[in-house]
Amino acid sequence: MEKLAIGIDIGGTRTKLGLVDLINGKVLELIIAPTETKDSGKFLEIINSGIDKLKEVAQKHHSTIIGVGFGVTGFVFSNGMVDSTYGFLEFMEDYPLAEYIVKQNSLPCRADNDARVVALGEALYGKGKGQNRVLVLTLGTGLGLGFIAGGKFETDLPYAHMGGHISVGHTDFKCYCGKRGCLEALVSATGIVAGAKRLGWEQKYPDLPLNVETIFKAEQDGNDDAKIVVEEFLGYLKTGIDNYINIFAPDMIIIGGGVSKGMKLYLDKLTQLDFLLPYKNYKVKIALSELDEHSGILGSAALFN
């Protein structure tokens, strides 16, 4: 018995549309299309054509689709209205996304913040399966935060998704949100690269491309500058995690996103808990995502779980 829904993950350059079986968290069919960032009409055309194709696949399975779920950057209201994506998708200002999709596809549509749906995917189908309180940190170009309790969002609206902007240090480095010392500005891919730049990476190592993968590799090869960058990164991330533990008391913290791919060797350094004396019996596990790129698709579809 299948229970099918479509999950749509709108990424920086690629939009992924997946036909998901909500019973077992399997992506039965995946369509990848370019992300249209400027024109609403073109955007809807691409999405609707993908939905049509996935409807055909569902028919072959002799199943019907129960709804279309979206993960979108920014604040999304419970009626599927996107207030703003902060310039990411230029046309998505006060944008009735769900209304357009329902009108053109005759399917129910739900939308939520992208970091929140990733967390839902991880909690239901990834490393968070079977855990009660699951905090998911998505470390990509930014830091997305999503928290799931008992398989559900703790609040209906995505109030906590800006939680990456907690201040963890007194740095001169200004975040795009206007504050200084934001965790997001220090531990995202953008932050790690900026840390290497401040040490003069481009002048010192013209042959080593300035990206997270190269920096992690150089650290493991004993490069002194890379060691400084990685140590700073882990220190800030650990401080952030310690703060999140105080707020959310998660049973499981999952780190996903592009940066997490190179973090296997560093996981031990994050799991040493130093600040938990007040909670005598509290335990938390920290793991890296294994769902990889699928977490956003699974979580968006799971808005119909």
- Kindly list the residues in this chain that would bind Zn ion in the complex (CB under 5 A): 165, 175, 177, 179, 182
Q: Which is nearer to Zn ion, 40 or 243 (CB)?
A: 243
Q: Which is nearer to Zn ion, 54 or 186 (CB)?
A: 186
For residues 204 and 264, give the distance between their C-alpha atoms in angstroms, rounded to a whole number. Answer: 27
Considering only CA atoms, which of 251, 49, 220 is closest in space to residue 131? Answer: 251
Other beta carbons within 10 angstroms of residue 37's beta carbon come to 17
Q: Which is nearer to Zn ion, 184 or 219 (CB)?
A: 184
CB of 163 to Zn ion, least distance (A): 11
Cβ(63)–Cβ(92) below 8 Å: no
Q: Beta strand 75-76 with 4-10: parallel, antiparallel or unpaired?
A: unpaired
Q: Which is nearer to Zn ion, 80 or 240 (CB)?
A: 240
CB of 164 to Zn ion, least distance (A): 7
Considering only CA atoms, which of 55, 75, 73 is closest in space to residue 6? Answer: 55
Residue 135, amino acid: L
Considering only CA atoms, which of 178, 171, 184, 223 is closest in space to residue 200? Answer: 223
CB of 171 to Zn ion, least distance (A): 11
Which residue matches tokens 């129910």? 108
Tell me the sheet residues that pair with 140. Answer: none
Q: Which is nearer to Zn ion, 61 or 198 (CB)?
A: 198
Q: Which is nearer to Zn ion, 16 or 165 (CB)?
A: 165
CB of 74 to Zn ion, least distance (A): 15
Residue 253, amino acid: I
Q: Which is nearer to Zn ion, 9 or 232 (CB)?
A: 232
b/e map of 214-243 (b: 16 or more CB within 10 Å)? bbbebbeeebebbeebbebbbebbbbbbeb
b/e map of 148-179 (b: 16 or more CB within 10 Å)? bbeeebeeeebebbbbbbbbbbebeeebeeee
